[in-house]
Amino acid sequence: MFMQNLPSEVLINEVSTRDGFQSEAVFVPTDKKIEMIDRLSLLGLNKIEVTSFVSPKAIPNLRDAEEVMNRITRNPKVTYVALVPNEKGAERALATKADEVNLVMSVSESHNLSNMRMTCAQSLAQFRRICGLMEGSDVRINASLATSFGCPFEGIIAPERVIDVIDQYLEIGIQSISIADTTGMASPRQVYELCSLVRRIYPSVDVTLHLHNTRGMGLTNALAGLSAGINQLDASLGGIGGCPYAPGATGNICTEDLVHMLESIGLNTNVDLMKLLEISRELPAMLEHETSGQVAKAGLRTETRPLSQNVIDLKNRNEKH
Amino acid sequence: MFMQNLPSEVLINEVSTRDGFQSEAVFVPTDKKIEMIDRLSLLGLNKIEVTSFVSPKAIPNLRDAEEVMNRITRNPKVTYVALVPNEKGAERALATKADEVNLVMSVSESHNLSNMRMTCAQSLAQFRRICGLMEGSDVRINASLATSFGCPFEGIIAPERVIDVIDQYLEIGIQSISIADTTGMASPRQVYELCSLVRRIYPSVDVTLHLHNTRGMGLTNALAGLSAGINQLDASLGGIGGCPYAPGATGNICTEDLVHMLESIGLNTNVDLMKLLEISRELPAMLEHETSGQVAKAGLRTETRPLSQNVIDLKNRNEKH
C-alpha cells in the first residue's frame, strides 16, 4: 500500500546556506547570511548546515565561514553543522564550535577524484585523522556518502558499494551518515530499496537522506525514503543548490515544498511553513534569479481566493431562479 | 509497502497541444502544431488531446482547431481527442471526426461558474444533449471532473462530491472519466484515497488521472494514483500549461519526466522517451520561454559523461603507485 510505514515525525535539515549559496553567481553578504540563519533557527528545523570550511579560493562564496559561524545566534534546539573537506577545515570547525561536522566522500571513485581530488582510500584515511582530531570534543561527526545512487561518470551505483562504504565508516567509528543523491539520479524504487537495506543492516546508525530534484523525482524519492524507515531529510530553501553540469536543472529538494507535501499527508515536521515561505520569497531578490520552489509561487494548497464579482452575480442570479 | 500494486503498463495521454498551447503568450503556427502532433503520433502515446473546439474569441491560440484536426496524419493506434465545451463544439468535433470528445465540468460549483459560466446542473444538461448528438457516431465520450481534489475558491474537495458527480455522469451514460487536479491542490494521500475509492466503486469505468505540478507534488501524485489502481495518466510535454493565478508556477505534469520516472521503476509506458525529449527540447524556442521539464535539461539518469583529462591523469597516477 502506498504511504504505509511512514514515520509520524520527520526531521528537516536545512542546507541552503551551504549547499545552496556555494554555487550561486552572487556572493550573499555576510550580514544577510547571518540574518537568514538566525531567522531559520526559530522555525523548528532539526539541523542547519551553516557553511563549509573549504579554501576560500575553491569556494569564494563561503569565504566568510568563520564570521558566519561566530556571529549567528544559536538556538540550543538546533544542530549547527559545518561541512569539512579536510583536517584544516576540521580545525576551523572546532575553533568556531560547530555542533557537528559533515565529512564527504563519494562512493564512486571517479566522482571522489573529480570532486575531492582524492581516492576513496585517501578520503577514508583523512576521515580517520579528523575523527582523531575531534576526540574529546563535543563535536558530532556525520559522514556523507555522495553519489550513493548514481555517479555522472560511472552511472547507477550498486547498493553493495554503498554498504561497503558504510562498513568502512563504522570501522572508523562514524555512527551518523547521510545517503546522498548528489546529482539527482535516484529512482523512487532505488531509494526505497537502498534505504530499506540500510535500515535493516544498521538499525542503530543515524541516517539522513540528501536528495536533489535534478530529474523531477526529488519529492517522490523523499516519500520513498520515509516509507523505508528514514526520518531525517536534507532540503534547501527555494530548492537552491544547482547542478553545475545541467544549466537550468533544479538542485536540492526544496524545503518548503517538502514540508508542504509532508504536512499534506499528515506527517509532522514541527517546521513553521508560513515563516519558511516568507524567507524563501526573499531569495529571488537576494540571489538575482528565480528559484525552483513551487509553493512559494503558488501558495498553500489550502489557500483560497475570493470569487470575482461577476461570478458572484451569476451565482446569485441562479439561486434566485 | 511503497510502490506495491503498481500496474505493469501505464497509458500516457499527451495534452500539450491543447492544455499547454491554449494558455501560451504566443500563437503556435498551425503548421508547427500539425508537425508536432504528427511526430508525437509515432511515439507510443495512448491518446493525444489535439485541440479544443472553443470559441476563437475565448481562446485565440486554438482558433485553428478545424484545420489542425483535418490536416494531422492519424496513427490508428492513437486516440485523437478534442475538448468540447458545448454543443457547438461537439458538432465541430463530429465534423472533423475526432476519435473522442472530452467534456469538462468542475465538481466545484464556484469553479464551474467561474470557468464555464454555467452551474453544474446546466453543464450536466448540456452533457446530456451532447451525448444525444453523438449517438450513432463512433465518437467516444470522456468527461472530466475538474477540481476533483481542490478548488481555488472552495478549498479542498470532499471525495463524496466527486462520487456524486461520477454517479450523475453514469446516469447520462458516460463510462469514461478523467479525475482532474486542475490547479495542483491534491496531496498524495488524497490521490491515493480518492482513486482507490473510485476504482472500488466503479471497477468497469475507464479512469484517467489528470494532474498538475503546481505545488511540486505532481509526480508523487502520479505514483499515488498508479498505486491505487489507475493506469492512465494525462501529461504535457515540457510540463507546459500554466496556472493563470500563480505566475511562474508549473502546469501539467511533464510527460517526459513522468515517462522517465515510470521507466526508472520498471513500469512500461511504450513511449519512446528519447524522441519525446527531442521534441520537448524544441519547445523553448517555439514558445519563447523555458519550460519546467527537468529531464530535458539534465538528461536521463542513466546518461554518463566522460571524466576530464586531469582526473584521468590523477586516476592513472594513483593506480601506478
Tell me: the pLDDT tens digits for B172-203?
A: 999 999 999 999 999 999 999 999 999 999 99
Tally Cβ neighbours within 10 Å of residue A52: 26
Q: With beta carbons under 8 A apart, name residues in chain B contacting A214.
A: 294, 298
Q: For residue A45, tell me if it sits in a domain.
A: yes
* CB proximity under 8 Å: A 46-65 to B: none
CA of B311: which chain A residue's CA is closest?
A: A114
User: Residue A246: pLDDT band by 50, 70, 90 thresholds?
Assistant: low
What's A129's domain CATH number? Answer: 3.20.20.70
Q: For residue A3, tell me if it sits in a domain.
A: no
Q: How far is C-alpha A262 from the chain's CA centre?
A: 15
Give A248 to chain B, closest Cα distance, Å: 7
DSSP B267: -
What residues contact residue B24 under an 8 Å CB cut-off, 6+ apart? Answer: B61, B240, B287
Contact: B114, A311; criterion CB under 8 Å: yes
pLDDT at residue B321 is higher than 80: no
Contact: B318, A119; criterion CB under 8 Å: yes
Segment A285-309 shows an average pLDDT of 94
Q: How far is C-alpha B103 from the chain's CA centre?
A: 14
Contact: A151, B304; criterion CB under 8 Å: yes
Q: For residue A2, tell me if it sits in a domain.
A: no
Contact: B216, A219; criterion CB under 8 Å: yes
Rounded-to-integer distance, Cα B44 and Cα A258, Å:
33
* Nine-digit cell string for A102: 559533515
Q: For residue A5, tell me if it sits in a domain.
A: no
Q: For residue B1, tell me if it sits in a domain.
A: no
Segment A23-50 shows an average pLDDT of 97
Q: How far apart are the first and last CA of chain B?
A: 48
Contact by Cβ (8 Å): B132, B173: no
Segment B24-35 shows an average pLDDT of 97
A249-294 per-position pLDDT tens digit: 789 999 999 999 999 999 999 999 999 999 999 999 999 999 999 9
Share of residues in chain B with pLDDT > 70 (%)? 97
B249-292 per-position pLDDT tens digit: 789 999 999 999 999 999 999 999 999 999 999 999 999 999 99
- Boundaries of domain holding B128: 11-320
Q: For residue B6, tell me if it sits in a domain.
A: no
Tally of structural domains, chain B:
1
Give B4 to chain A, closest Cα distance, Å: 6
Q: For residue B264, tell me if it sits in a domain.
A: yes
User: Catalytic residue at A131?
Assistant: no
A70-129 per-position pLDDT tens digit: 999 999 999 999 999 999 999 999 999 999 999 999 999 999 999 999 999 999 999 999
Q: Complex ipTM, two decimals?
A: 0.96
Run of H or E including A52: strand A47-52
Write the DSSP assignment of A129-155 as a string of letters. Answer: HHHHHHTTSS-EEEEEEETSSEETTTE
User: Residue A316: pLDDT band by 50, 70, 90 thresholds?
Assistant: confident
pLDDT at residue A1 is higher than 60: no
Q: For residue B202, tell me if it sits in a domain.
A: yes
Contact: A153, B306; criterion CB under 8 Å: yes
Rounded-to-integer distance, Cα A212 and Cα A235, Å:
8
Segment B211-238 shows an average pLDDT of 97
The reported pLDDT for the residue numbered A245 is 59
B40-90 per-position pLDDT tens digit: 999 999 999 999 999 999 999 999 999 999 999 999 999 999 999 999 999
Which residue in the list B120, B195, B243, B254 is annotated as catalytic? Answer: B243
Contact by Cβ (8 Å): B294, A214: yes
Share of residues in chain A with pLDDT > 90 (%)? 90
Please return the burial class of B289, using the count of CB atoms within 10 Å of its CB with bins 0-12, 13-18 and 19+. middle
